Amino acid sequence: MKAYSFIKSTKTEETHIFEGDFTTNGCNAENKCICKKVQQSEGTWIVGNICLEQQQAREKAASIGRPVCGDCVSYLYATY
Ligand SMILES: [Zn+2]
């Protein structure tokens, strides 16, 4: 099972989603977001929106109330 974390870009204010794996302490994440446009160092983690399961990540993306990258979101739905 994959872990999903949300990072808000400090440059564009857009939120992107990072994919990683669950670990004993939480989860890790790849250096670049799903759409590859943003690196971890270019944004800030959104508190409460890290280490989510796929379904949780979909719900967060739908309810987050700020712009979420469409390419990253569509990936959450493309894996079925
Ligand atoms: Zn993105």
CB 7 within 8 A of CB 23: no
Encode pLDDT of 22-63 as tens digits: 999 999 999 999 999 999 999 999 988 999 999 999 999 998
Left (φ > 0), alpha (ψ -120 to 50) or beta: where does 70 sit? alpha
Query: What is the 34 CA–ligand 1 centroid distance (Å)?
Result: 6
SS3 content of the chain, % helix, strand, coil (to 5): 30, 30, 40
CA max distance for the chain: 33
Residue 4 CA, ligand 1 centroid: distance in Å: 12
- Predicted pLDDT of residue 80: 52
Q: Which residues surround ligand 1, an ion (CB under 5 A)?
A: 16, 33, 35, 69, 71-72
pLDDT (0 to 100) of residue 65: 64
